Amino acid sequence: MRILEKIRIADPIFALTIGTSAALLRIQRDQREKFPDQAKDIGIGHVVSVGAGRVRRWWAGDFEGL
């Protein structure tokens, strides 16, 4: 029974990890296609920092009325 409990906990964590990784890689690829001259500078850290900045702006209400 313990094994089933561990599997039930691991499945959502695995799904969240795979989904997040896929989203980050897709965004990175889109950004590299959009800005080919900056492709070398666009890494996962860059994508995360841009996303965090947008969440902060959203939280502050900068996107109201759009």
Q: Which amino acid is at 13?
A: I
The Cα 17–Cα 4 span in angstroms is 20
Q: What is the pLDDT of residue 4?
A: 66
> In the chain, what are the domain boundaries?
2-60
User: Does residue 50 surpass a pLDDT of 90?
Assistant: no
Averaged over 7-32, what is the pLDDT? 90
Q: Please write the tens of the pLDDT for every residue from 28-39.
A: 999 999 999 988
